[in-house]
Amino acid sequence: MVRRGRKGSGGEEAALRARLEGPALRARLEGPALRARLEADLMLVLPVLPFPAIDPVLISIGPLAIRWYALAYIVGIIAGWFYARALIASKRLWGGPAPLTVVDFDDFVIWITLGIILGGRIGYVLFYNPRHFAAHPLEILELWNGGMSFHGGFIGCGVAIVLFALRRGLPMLSLSDVITAVAPIGLFLGRLANFINGELWGRPSDVWWAMVFPNGGPVPRHPSQLYEAALEGLVLFAVLAVLVWLGGLKRPGLVTGVFAVGYGVARVVCELFREPDAQLGFLWGGLTMGMLLCIPVILAGAALIGLALRREPIAKNG
């Protein structure tokens, strides 16, 4: 742990924090200049952790570069693929043979990959920066510069599931349950890649684990990417794994519903610590775009849970 700037006493720190967080001052601040100055002053007396400066490019060979962000997608898809195959192959989890085969899922991987990438990119363009991309449409294709939306990817995956299930005559909800059971693996890796890239940082903070991000100004901030990796990735994966182990796959739609509610709640909690996108800022009532987009996800998930619990579970047949 290091200190940046001059050392200050506890009284200095408390005084600066009061100046920064006082309601009277917040009411007077119309522009960012004064608040930025106070935040910089606060940074001088607060302990912060150094940001681990990891090169976003893992390997570079001539014009070819492999980035951590791309690697996160690749490893997430491959790891999810193997885990999904294990779920489908387990008769115990389904109460008999699964309603889809491993071969079905192998064929589906390319569909879900396209759904993630196309949906995630289109969602980011439409939800987070439509004006910019309307003025610079060719930048939509520049995926290597970042800019993916979970909610867009969620919709893209839904479209892929519906189309593939109709094409193969498979139960949509069971296919969706398998996908959502493995999805936290990719979410975990994706948030770690966000952290390595030094993007999507958190709000200014005085906690001892706050960090100064390379592109986030001189102010210590919450490492909110790690919060999201923990909640949306590790915790959600554990919850879904326990649910699957207890027979959740026998009730089509239950795992999908719990994933949607779990992700929505985790994302809303993390948004309380995450800095809103600069081009959007805070919306109505202090809400962020991420929070607003999670509302229909949570409601849809709750509906699926209710529907799944009202139905009889799949009877054992083997």
pLDDT tens track for 91-128: 999 999 999 999 999 999 999 999 999 999 999 899 88
Residue 215's pLDDT band (boundaries 50, 70, 90)?
confident
Residues 147 and 92 in one domain: yes
Which of residues 150 and 54 earns the better pLDDT score?
150
Residues 80 and 158 in one domain: yes
Residues 142 and 249 in one domain: yes
* Contact between residue 75 and residue 189 where contact means Cβ atoms under 8 Å apart: yes
Residues 44 and 57 in one domain: no
Give the pTM. 0.82
Residues 9 and 65 in one domain: no
What's the pLDDT score for residue 68? Answer: 83
Residues 25 and 165 in one domain: no
Environment class of 92 (CB within 10 Å of its CB; exposed 0-12, middle 13-18, buried 19+): exposed
Residue of 277, 219, 279, 272 lying closest to 36 (CA atoms)? 219
Q: DSSP class of residue 101?
A: -
When divided into structural domains, the chain yields a total of: 2
Whole-Å CA distances, 312 to 181, 207, 252:
21, 49, 10
Residues 138 and 235 in one domain: yes
Q: Is 62 inside any structural domain?
A: yes
Residues 149 and 262 in one domain: yes
Q: Is 95 inside any structural domain?
A: yes
> Looking at the DSSP assignment, which residues form a beta bridge with residue 202?
274
Residues 216 and 103 in one domain: yes
Residue 26's pLDDT band (boundaries 50, 70, 90)?
very low
Q: Is 316 inside any structural domain?
A: no
Task: Tell me: pLDDT of 29 over 60.
Answer: no
Residues 13 and 107 in one domain: no
Residues 120 and 153 in one domain: yes
Percent of the chain at pLDDT exceeding 90: 58
Residues 107 and 248 in one domain: yes
Report the mean per-residue pLDDT for the chain.
Answer: 85
Residue 3's pLDDT band (boundaries 50, 70, 90)?
very low
Domain around 31: 1-48
Helices vs strands, H then E, count in the chain: 13, 4
Q: Is 315 inside any structural domain?
A: no
Task: Tell me: pLDDT of 44 over 60.
Answer: no
Long-range contacts, 83-89 (Cβ 8 Å, 24+): 83/181, 83/182, 83/185, 84/178, 84/179, 84/181, 84/182, 87/178, 87/181, 87/182, 87/244, 87/249, 88/178
